[in-house]
Amino acid sequence: MTSRPAAGGGRWVEVDPARIARWVAGFADRHGPPTVTGQEYGLLLAAPDGATAELHRPPGAPATPDLDAFVGQAVASRRIGLLLARKGAVAVGVAEGERLPVHKVDTRYVQGRTAAGGWSQQRFARRRDNQAKAALGEAADLAVRLLLPEAGRLAALVVGGDRRTVDGILADRRLAPLAALRAERLLDVPEPRYAVLQDAATAARAVRILVRDPA
């Protein structure tokens, strides 16, 4: 389980689906038995002492009316597409639970920024832009080869890394069926490698909970 401060107050907690029932029980022990109401994002738990917990559905999970159904959907295995990108590195995969039956990692050199000025700086900037465009094109080609054939069987597409780079890849018209499956969350990942892709398969299934303690 991971935790980090939330903008506007409270904290985000990410809980493995197998532990969500235990987490809810602990919340009830600390704050009293909560009322449960359905929300667009999932479920809202409101405790008698004023504490709240917003349980966000994992990507691809359907809306559920009560807590037991939410837990059941959270632990259910579903097929999730993964697209991670940062600068010239990209990793794509299909996750079934924490397995990766389909995966590929690719890296293309993209020059970093230079402190040089004048004509030299402009030349390096053009070269960097060309390298970045080529990297985006190759990343899109990779997604077309590996992810696009799976689109009809995916419950969702989870992305991670640099948002601008991911947006650039999914702007390719060929990937419109995948873009339509894109989940709201953006995974915070380092430069994509196979180990990073494995970790992302686990993180994509986590239940995100926004916890606000009593005033």
Provide the pLDDT for residue 110.
Answer: 46
Residue 112 scores a pLDDT above 60 = no
Provide the pLDDT for residue 128.
Answer: 57
Token pair listed for 206: 């986590």
Question: What's the pLDDT tens digit per position in 43-91?
Answer: 999 999 999 999 999 999 999 889 999 999 999 989 999 999 987 799 9
Query: Mapped to the 3 state alphabet, what secondary structure does the chain carry?
Result: CEEEECCCCCEEEEECHHHHHHHHHHHHHHHCCCEEEECCCEEEEECCCCCEEEEECCCCCCCCCCHHHHHHHHHCCCEEEEEEEECCEEEEEEEECCEEEEEEEEECCCCCCCCCCHHHHHHHHHHHHHHHHHHHHHHHHHHHHHCHHHHHHCCEEEEEECHHHHHHHHCCHHHHHHHCCEEEEEECCCCCCHHHHHHHHHHCCCEEEEEECCC
Mean pLDDT of 178-197: 94
Question: What's the pLDDT tens digit per position in 10-50?
Answer: 999 999 999 999 999 999 999 999 999 999 999 999 999 99
Domains of the chain and any CATH numbers: 2-77+206-212 (no CATH), 79-203 (3.30.420.60)
